[in-house]
Structure 1
């Protein structure tokens, strides 16, 4: 999707080639478990060399928040009064920041899939969120999952904020955006996260349970 948008928008979106990460971003747990340390280090260095100019964008997702906010502002100015947001990976980070900003009154809530844990936003989000996380995600570990649940379950109990969190077993970061459908658990997580987004939109955009 990013490649297609970048092709049409040119300088507005300039993502690194997706395939460049294949050697360091497994599609399922332990895909590279038998690889030697030397090969692993070599592959990491090679990826860093190929992607160095994108590293600030990848390492600091908050830098893209103004662009995402501009998109929301454009939709609002065009008359949209109800918007649901769905994001995976860095898109999930954007969803967290957008929902934490009280100026975004048109946003009803969102679905967030294997994001980076933008923990500074969590106390500010008071809108419905459905989360789909991987149980083998170095970006969003068990401590982060525990903190997420603690923060939002408290809001759910005290303020009635709709919160759902599913941690998908035997999956890695990326299952909702670049799934390998030959891996049964990844395929299930991918399909369930998509179904969850449809369910969320039916409930909060269309008013149907």
Structure 2
């Protein structure tokens, strides 16, 4: 992957996207800030700071769990508010999924109808985000 990110056209790519789950969400955000990927999807990301969000350069979708102390719903809503207030130039979107916890987009409890619906919606939102911004 590192070779592709260093020179995408030599590998047949013009643009790259990335998605991450939990800590992988933080890594996708870090790559977004370096311009190594052009579009990002962060599902229930871990350890995202205000500095991480301020450094974003490209479109990013956040699929946020309702119950997740590391990236709480309140923290996500505050980050979204601050981003709106600063007039971010790149596209961004925060989705908030009720009755979900960390991992809902990677290893959901499919026996819970609401969690299953959130999982399916987050997956489709990610695909739609890539299609719209790649």
After TM superposition, is the score higher than 0.5?
Answer: yes
Note the C-alpha offset of 1:72. Answer: 5.0
Note the C-alpha offset of 1:161. Answer: 2.2
Instruction: Say which structure is richer in strand.
Output: 2
Answer whether contact 1:153 1:163 (CA < 8 A) is retained.
no
Note the C-alpha offset of 1:118. Answer: 2.1
Task: State TM-score, norm by structure 2.
Answer: 0.85
Task: State TM-score, norm by structure 1.
Answer: 0.57
Instruction: Say which structure is richer in helix.
Output: 1
User: How many residues matched?
Assistant: 132
Tell me the residue number matched to 2:44: 114
CA distance in 2, matches of 1:139, 1:84: 24
Q: Which has the larger radius of gyration?
A: 1
Residues 64-103 of structure 1 aligned to structure 2 (within 5 Å)? 70=2, 73=5, 76=8, 77-102=10-35
Runs of 4+ in 1 over 4 A off after TM superposition: none
CA distance in 2, matches of 1:72, 1:117: 27
Tell me the residue number matched to 1:37: none
Larger relative contact order (Cα-Cα within 8 Å, sequence gap ≥ 6): 2
Tell me the residue number matched to 2:84: 153
User: Unpaired segments of 5 or more residues in structure 2?
Assistant: none
Note the C-alpha offset of 1:143. Answer: 4.0
User: Unpaired segments of 5 or more residues in structure 1?
Assistant: 1-67
Answer whether contact 2:67 2:101 (CA < 8 A) is retained.
yes
Answer whether contact 2:105 2:119 (CA < 8 A) is retained.
yes
CA distance in 2, matches of 1:160, 1:78: 29
Whether 1:173 and 2:102 are equivalent positions in the alignment is yes
